[in-house]
Structure 1
Amino acid sequence: MRRPALYSRSSSFGQGMPEAAAHATASQNPLHDDGVPEPTQAQATDAPQSGQSVPTPTPAHHLRLLWATVGLLALALALSLFFSMQPPVRQLTQKDIDAAVAHTLQTTVLHSPGLKAYDAIMPSVVRVTGLGKVMRDRDGGESVERSVGTGVVIVDKGVILTNLHVVRGAQTIKVTFADGLESAASITGVQPENDLAVLQAHKIPDDLSAATLRSTDGLAPGEQVMAVGYPFGIGPSASSGVISGLERTFRSPEGKQLMSNLIQFDAAANPGNSGGPLITMEGEVIGIVTAIYNPNQQKSFVGIGFAVPIESAAAAAGMPPF
């Protein structure tokens, strides 16, 4: 005789749930005695199984850590030794600075302002020669030097400023450039009131450079200047001095010409300097040397020279004012 099926009366599964079904549900999520769910099978597989050991660091791992530690200690020790061996930083004193300046002055060649000025103007300075014919009984006429002066290139196409008295009456004019090239030249303009002449050279050097012109605005007595030219045909020669005065007036020894608004200077100038540049210590032309004061009529320099301001000289060449 079959026995009737029994049902669980447990309140955890509710009334009417078969005991087998309740047992299946409980097996899917078993509870501890305190009501906390036990790990599932998937979770359980992540944990070490009973009887399995937890992995521990190998001796090689310990060895690598040891060597890394030793390396860091060695580096720290080396840096400590390096910095301990460096000499202490000493503060500079005035005595150190004076010694350094003295050493520099002894071992360095300092170029004077005059040298820089001369180097700047020289490529633009020319020797100007006025030639004339002298008649000979046997072989006819012969060209000889009648006058020697100086000129300065103001346009790199061969335009040259000089004094009118250097070329007046010459049958032929010859100019000699700084590189030695000789060329005939023609008069293209004159300014008699300032004793100026403008020449055009027929041949010019390939690398001819014009002088830099500077306005006389702001010039004052005491400023250093240099006269460059061919005194008595010797040169090129340079002499330095200062501006002695401005807006001076000069009358020629013959009394035929009165010139005004001249720059007075004391740099040595002699016959042959006429037409040459009067320059600043930057090598810039501020005037054209035109006369020297000759109270003893010996045509030698007594410390007073005169130059036409470059504004007037440039106007003779048709150049615009500054």
Structure 2
Amino acid sequence: MAMGIAQKGSDSRSPAERSLLAGFTWAAISVAIFSGWFVVTRFSVTRELRIWDITAIRFSVGALALLPVLLTARLPARAWGLGLVFAVLWGAPFVLLVALGLQLSSAAQAASTAPTLMPVFSGLIGWLVLRERPGKPRLAGYAAIVAGLAILSIATAPANGAFNPSGLIALALAAAMWALYTLIFRRTGLSALQAAALICFWSALLFLPVYLWLGLGHLDHASMQELVLQGIYQGILMSVVAVITFNRAVALLGSAAATAMIALVPVAASLIAIPVLGEVPSLLASAAILIIVTGVVLAARPQPTQVEGTA
């Protein structure tokens, strides 16, 4: 009996609590990968490679890595159609928009724009289209996230000029597409791995022929080390690992809470920049980070209505 009590006490969390813990873990992995992605992508698009090269590397490597999933999954026709929609929302067009935003701004500004606006768009779309009215704490969280974004953008703006409006528009549009994807994915019944495979397949199928036909490639201008770095980060970490971990977070936490966690990307990026780049955030930037964290805590809290609706 003592052993039974010990076993019971060793895992006293309820299934709902374990699900939330797992969801936050998956989301944390996604945040870590997304944070590094802005730095890695910015590194190349401001040197020898172009946004077209980054997109081609990401989905060609990802499609090859995930091809066995599509060959063995026996997906219905409806799933292939949904995969095409996913590829439009979070595939090649999304990557091109973010890469354009990175080219016209900076890694810090881009990291504090697209991921931070995404949960806000997700909440607004869910409210207006799906009639999923957010509670007052979540609305307060969205307001705090937007306020923190505004302050962080000002704090990290380059001294020689203001934020490029074209870059901001590209990043905001990417955030809206990302948010719409999260709302659709959770209702499809597809697994995270299947969604990742379909996104890579359709993106490669639609983008690579255009990339090759128009001669957009500059891969021969980059070093082998840079190509390997981009191949691993874009093709494996972003196209495979990040998509799977983020989709798992959406499935376990819900689209609103999972997307709110992604708003921590600029926070993580700022922390990574301290030891790696020696960039210590200013007092104003630190205050903005604190506001964003507060907004994420409020926006990521599960709502009773959502728990009941998904039970």
Say yes or no: TM over 0.5: no
- The structure with higher relative contact order (CA 8 Å, sep 6+) is 2
Which structure features the higher share of strand residues? 1
Computing the radius of gyration from Cα coordinates, the structure with the larger value is 1
Scaled to the shorter chain, the TM-score interval is under 0.3
TM-score (norm 2): 0.25
